[in-house]
Amino acid sequence: MLRVPCDERKNWEAMAQEFGFKFHTMYGEKYWDESAYYQFSLAQIEQGIEAPTADIHQMCLAVVEQVVNSDELLTRFAIPKAQWAFVRKSWQDGDPSLYSRLDFAYNGEGFAKLYENNADTPTSIYETGFWQWMWLENKVDSKLLGRHADQFNSVQEKLVNRFKELHALNPQRYLHFACSKNTEEDRGTVQYLEDCAKAAGVQTKFVYIEDIGIDKDKQFADLDNNVITWMFKLYPWEFMFEDAYGALLGQQNIRWLEPPWKSILSNKALLPMLWKLFPDHPNLLPSFFEDELHLVPDDMLLVKKPIFSREGANISFTDARGNALDDKDNSDGPYGEEGFIYQQKYSLPVFDGNHTLIGSWLIDDQAAGISMREDNYAITQDMSRYLPHVIY
Amino acid sequence: MKRSSILDLSALRKRTRIFVLAPISLAVMAGCSGGGQNEQVAFVTSVDNCASSTKLSVIECQAAYEEAVKEAESTAPRYQYQRDCQAEFGNCENRGGFFVPFMAGYIVSNIVSDSMERKHRFTNSHPSYMYRGPGQFRNKIMTSDGFVVGSPGQSSYRVPRDALKPKPAVTRTISRGGFGATASAKSNWGSSRATSRSSSRGWGG
């Protein structure tokens, strides 16, 4: 695994405009960064990332099976009691999922270590499935990379195929896509997924989360007063549970993407549960609930993560007893009321001074590709740069 | 190869995307065939008319009629005031506090009987209305979502396949805004390095 500096394509910003990729630069800083790429061997991809991704996904499903069947565990996962029946039913009914992203620390040698599972509202799928694919096509076409250059990235192909399967399960339903207002990145992500659904023959509509309404029968409706019967929402389940309409969830005949049972996987309580069910698994880091810190070896440093944290917010470093360590890399944010979990501190590899995180995508249960994120800090956050990769 | 072999880029080019503006009461989509596949349909005004003017059997025509009526219950254009409904569709009835036009008939597809196709075919039908409003669509056959089929009197019509797909049900919304508050409460926080969490960053992870 190497980090290889390279020239940017001269016309890439014009292409970004043509394809509607609007969030390549944010707050005046680069988000899409093609001044370098990461290079992997095929073995690093297949054995180092692809195989563990598929395995860990299955392990995660085993955790869901345990949690939905236990009031105590649902409580530990901070799922509101009022939503238990809704979450349980979606699991028992086998509601299908679309996608998720596992985040790994991996330097090309040894075992990739799981940081967390973004199973409910993963983003950067457009950059992964389409934009970095285009980058490689252009590089090969202009002979700057050899014909044999490949990429671990069948994301878009698998997405379209997955939407075809989902369409067959819901042949009569419109699929509504939804995200919050005023977030260009989320809007772009949802537009991409909507394009993939359309390519699969699904009939689609878009509605902002804030514009959703209800009728007298508690059905949800869009701005055209069309009843919502199938919805993809890039908006976390734990927020929906807290929102005013959260109390109405489960009363509608709606198929959800992601399904409600994903609230168990996008939850940091997943990490100590994985460690309990699969102790010493080589791709897992030791992880603990707050009342289990007595189990932590004295010399182990920990990372403290809120159960519902997103984009690396509210993360801090502690000693083995959970006492905060003063660290410049601690991050603040709006999370933590719901409690914390602790995970063994395991640093990201550093390439040319950059801390590098690998996002490994699953379409349903198939490992489908990776995204590379770089940050100047040890905790990658929402401003981390996105770089392309090749298999060479 | 570990990557997608060929991606269809046309749908992803955003600059050339065409949007159809919708009038307030009805989205008229005449002529917007989108280049998709066409299908041949017949417009019929009754089960008898269907059985005599297409190659479908009476039983098939009856089933198609029932399907259209059922669909009309949820998808018919709805108006708050009778005068608005009448202005666009002439005859209207009050249904549960809304005014909806009477069905002028229904369109059925797979009207061309063919022994090869017959084994696999299924009949697709949709409620249709006669537009009576002013303008170029006056006295034309229209489906629930405003797709213009054509002038009555033809033995068949070619319509894009999309126009024959099921339409979402319409309801009366009594409140909005019950989702999204949790996100805006959290957005008062900036991330530690960005000065504010606004315009572009979202709630994904």
Q: Where in chain B are the domains?
A: 38-187
Chain A residues with CB inside 8 Å of B194's CB? Answer: 26-27, 382-383
Mean pLDDT along residues B116-137: 73
- A85 shares its domain with A172: yes
The ipTM (two decimal places) reads: 0.88
Residue A279 lies in a domain: no
CA nearest B64: which of B42, B90, B81, B97? Answer: B42
- A244 shares its domain with A317: no
Nearest CB to A244: which of B166, B171, B178? B178
CA nearest A322: which of A306, A303, A339? Answer: A303
Residue A276 lies in a domain: no
- A95 shares its domain with A126: yes
- A358 shares its domain with A324: no
In 3-state terms, what secondary structure has residue A158? Answer: helix
Residue A277 lies in a domain: no
pLDDT above 90: percentage of residues in chain B: 20
- A228 shares its domain with A370: yes
Chain B residues with CB inside 8 Å of A215's CB? Answer: 171-174
* Distance from the A183 Cα atom to the nearest Cα atom in chain B, whole angstroms: 4
For A263, phi then psi, to 5°, come to -60, -20
Tell me, what's the pLDDT at B14?
59
CA nearest A389: which of A20, A44, A30, A14? Answer: A44
Partners of residue B176 on adjacent β-strands: A213
Measured between CB atoms, does A384 come within 8 Å of chain B?
A: no
- A88 shares its domain with A67: yes
Residue A56 lies in a domain: yes
Measured between CB atoms, does A30 come within 8 Å of chain B?
A: no
Tell me, what's the pLDDT at A29?
87
* Distance from the B113 Cα atom to the nearest Cα atom in chain A, whole angstroms: 25
Question: Does residue B113 surpass a pLDDT of 50?
Answer: no
- A6 shares its domain with A123: yes
- A94 shares its domain with A207: yes
- A140 shares its domain with A220: yes
Say yes or no for a CB contact (<8 Å) between A20 and B178. Answer: no
Enumerate residues 6+ apart whose C-beta is below 8 A from A267: A77, A78, A79, A238, A307, A308
Pairing status of strand A230-233 against strand A255-257:
parallel
Residue A340 lies in a domain: yes
* B184-195 CB burial, b ≥16 within 10 A, e <16: eebbeebbbebe
In 3-state terms, what secondary structure has residue A259? Answer: coil
Residue A124 lies in a domain: yes
Say yes or no for a CB contact (<8 Å) between A212 and B195. Answer: no
Measured between CB atoms, does B203 come within 8 Å of chain A?
A: yes
Instruction: Report in angstroms the alpha-carbon separations of A386 from A133, A203, A264, A337, B110.
Output: 13, 31, 27, 30, 50
Nearest CB to A240: which of B3, B179, B204? B179
- A335 shares its domain with A359: no
**Domain encompassing residue A330:** 286-345
- A228 shares its domain with A310: no
H or E stretch at B88: helix B82-89
Residue A271 lies in a domain: no
Nearest CB to B205: which of A156, A205, A311? A311
Tell me, what's the pLDDT at B204?
65
The model's pTM is 0.81
Q: How many domains does chain A have?
A: 2
The one-letter amino acid code at B69 reads V
| Count of CB pairs separated by less than 8 Å, A with B | 220
Say yes or no for a CB contact (<8 Å) between A243 and B74. Answer: no
Residue A216 lies in a domain: yes
Torsion of CA B110, B113, B114, B118, to 10 degrees: 60
- A239 shares its domain with A296: no
Tell me, what's the pLDDT at B117?
44
Q: What is the pLDDT along chain A (392 residues), one digit of tens a residue?
A: 999 999 999 999 998 988 888 889 888 889 999 999 999 999 999 999 999 999 999 999 999 999 999 999 999 999 999 999 999 999 999 999 999 999 999 999 999 999 999 999 999 999 999 999 999 999 999 999 999 999 999 999 999 999 999 999 888 899 999 999 988 889 999 999 999 998 898 999 999 999 999 999 999 999 989 999 999 999 999 999 999 999 999 999 999 999 999 999 999 999 999 999 999 999 999 999 999 999 999 999 999 999 987 666 778 899 999 898 876 667 766 666 788 999 999 999 999 999 999 999 999 999 999 999 999 887 766 678 999 999 99
Contact B175, A217 (CB under 8 A): no
